[in-house]
Structures are given as structure tokens and as C-alpha cells.
Structure 1
Amino acid sequence: MAASVALQLSASSFVVPGQLTLRTIHGRNGPFNVGRLVTAVGKFAVKDAELEQYPEGKYNGEFVIRYIDAKAYPTCDGMRFEIRASLDGMTLSGTDKLSKAEARAFATQEIDPLDEDLAAHPVTPAATPEPESAPVRASTDPLIDTRPFGVDAPAATATASGSPDSDDAALFGLLWPLGESVKLDSTIDRRTLRVQIARLGTLGYALDFKSQQWNRQPDQQAA
């Protein structure tokens, strides 16, 4: 489990120019991003949920640093320490691909931030629901109605559960129905955010890293 000591630099966030390098790693929970931010005030690891959306690469821009953490977590050969910056936002102006050397510079055993989130906020098992009374059964004879007075018959036109639209509505919540542009909320739980990102790609959206929103691509058919 990672240890953390918050080092609050100031009462408010501060903005610094720099370069953010993102590396996509394939772990047991699927692909995840880890980042390194190089600025005039220091070099920091970055693992904010916001970065889950971005393709691997190098991004130049200005970064709003909220606070800095000293992190330590176990690895197979001991402990690893890193100085991590938590971001309040960023304005990106350019991007470039990683070289092989830059990709290899990242640790071979990066911790998935999702595992850190789950360790910090374990899921509490749901309470056992109270037993419900047995449902009222109607006669199979279409000429005999055995339902008690006041109990309506199920609507024949009810929407079937499990349809793609109903699944997407549950996944995206207040963002549904999706428009031509979609701005994801990175403050939701990281697992749901990853599913939203994958689904947007399937639905024909692509991320515009400068506007930090997903735009529907022309001539793309939703899956």
C-alpha cells in the first residue's frame, strides 16, 4: 500500500510551464497512463485521473499544481519513492510522440492508480436486502384475471432492459444523450471513467487534447 505525505506548497494552486510525458502501461486492470512532469521548479510523477483520456506522448503547456505528495510503495525488490504532483488543470499547446528511450525510462513495474484508489477507498459490501413478499402471479389462462384489485398489468410497450441506449444512459449519467462534443468529468471513480473513455472511442469520438473534450468524428457510425 502506498504511503503519502502531503507537502502543501501554498494556500492556493500555482501555474508553471513544462512538459508532461505520458506512458501507457498494460496492467491487470487494462491499460492505464502514468506521467512525468518536468518544470523549472522540479520533476514530478503525475497520476491524475484526467490523464486517463490522453494518448501516450509528450505534451507541452502550462500546468496548475494543486499540491505535491511524497509517495512510497513496495515493489518486488524493495520500496520505490516518488514526488508526485496533483494537478488542478492544464492548458496544452503541443504534442509529440515518445521515443523508445523515453518509453523505457519509465519504471517497468508502475502501480496502477486504480489499485491505489481501491486500497485507499475499499468498497463496502452492500447490505443484505430485506426479503420481499412473493410476487403476485396471474393465471396463465388469458380469460381469467387473478390479479388483486388495483394491481395493473405490466405494460406491453416497456423498453427492454440491456439495450445499448439504456446501457449508455446508465454509463454516462447526466452526459447522456451525448452531443457532438463531450467533456468527461474526471472526478468520478477511475474505473467508470475508463469505461466511458473506451465507449466514446467505440461510438466514433476522438479526444481533442487542446480543448480537452471528445468530438464526434465525421462518417463514424456508433457501435
Structure 2
Amino acid sequence: MLKLSGVLTIRTINGRNGPFNVGRLVTDLGEFSVKDTLLDQYEEGKYEGDFGISRIYPSYYLAGGRLVVEVRATLETMALAGIDELTAEDVAPAVEPDPIEETPPATMPQPAPSGDEPTEGDDEDPDVRLFGELWPLGAKVKLDPTVDRARFRRQKERLKSLGYQFRPLGQFWEKPAEEEAA
């Protein structure tokens, strides 16, 4: 794993599957596109810190009648030191494909979620199915970015609806103290 200091600029793009985040990591070694699942829980902004990169590879996509070639990095770890707002230059319109459409299917066959095919007597809480081993949720929750991207996004949205707030420097979701007592 390669460890580099740099700035990760995260942008939110509204695609046909809903909003998704993409990143641009600028380091002394170079500039990399980042499309990892874990970015979907962050707000737009510039995140300064140290980044552990497990893979650097070329990638391409078609957008607006043009072929875009980029160098991508896969983040293994992030130790964030600071957060800044995006500048006007950072918010220029971007046309990028939703990474959920790029994700290859899992190599192991996955059972159909029980929520899609209810069986007689199936009264399992939908949150139990959604969060799996993370259930029951505690005051702090760290999502697993290795689950499929669609499920990760549903988990993030459900945490927001339950009153949890994302803490980017610690990379976890936290329920405010007054919410816990209720």
C-alpha cells in the first residue's frame, strides 16, 4: 500500500440512480480520480489528510460524446486532518457515469433479499435486513464500504432518517445524545 498526503475534493453528482459522489485526489505524486463506495457518505468539500492507496490504474468512460481517460486510485485508508468548502472552480458542471453502473456483479451468487419475496410469517424488521451484522445500531456506526454500492447508499440514507450525523474526521455515523434518550 502506498501512503500519500494530499487533498481529496469530493463532488456530488445527480445521476439517474440518484446522487453519488466522486473524488479527485491531488498529491505530490499526481492527480487521481477516486470513485470508491465510501465517498457516498461524505458531503461535498475538500478533505486534507493522509491516504493509503491500494491500487492505481487507468480507466475510461464515454460522456457527452467524448472519451474520458483517467488515472484512478483505490483508497484503502484515510486519515483526515481538515475540511474546507469547495471553491467556484471546484463546482464546475461534471458529467460522469454513476459508479454503481460500473460495479461488476459479485462472483459468488447472492441470495435474494427476503424483503423482495416475503414468506408466510416473515416479520423481520427491514432495518435488520438492511444493516445485517451492524444491527442493532449503537450510538456510533461505521458502515462497511465493501457491501454493494446500492445497499451502502440505502444504509446511509436510513441512518440520516434515523437522526445520525456523519463525522468525516472519524469516518463514522453518530446519533446525537438527545436523540438517544428519546
Identify the TM-score tier after normalising by the shorter chain: 0.7 to 0.9
Structure 1 residues 52-63: aligned runs within 5 Å: 52-63=40-51
Shift of 1:86: 0.7
Shift of 1:212: 0.7
Percent identical pairs in the alignment equals 44
TM-score by length of 2: 0.87
Q: Which runs of 5+ in 2 are unaligned?
A: 113-119
Q: Does the 8 Å contact 1:60/1:93 carry over to 2?
A: yes
Shift of 1:108: 2.4
Among 91, 115, 120, which residue is 2:101 paired with? Answer: 115
| SS of structure 2 residue aligned to 1:100 | coil
Structure 1 residues 85-164: aligned runs within 5 Å: 85-104=73-92, 108-117=94-103, 120-121=104-105, 161=123
| SS of structure 2 residue aligned to 1:179 | coil
CA distance 1:168–1:102, shift in 2 (3 Å)? same
Residues 151-188 of structure 1 deviation map (CA, whole Å, 9 limit, x = unaligned): xxx9xxx7x737xxx01111000110100000110000
Provide the aligned length of Structure 1 versus Structure 2: 173
Structure 1 residues 1-223: aligned runs within 5 Å: 13-104=1-92, 108-117=94-103, 120-121=104-105, 161=123, 166-220=125-179
CA RMSD, 1 decimal: 2.5
Q: Which runs of 5+ in 1 are unaligned?
A: 1-12, 128-153
Shift of 1:76: 2.9
Shift of 1:210: 1.3
Q: Does the 8 Å contact 1:204/1:221 carry over to 2?
A: no
Shift of 1:221: 7.5
Larger CA Rg, structure 1 vs 2:
1
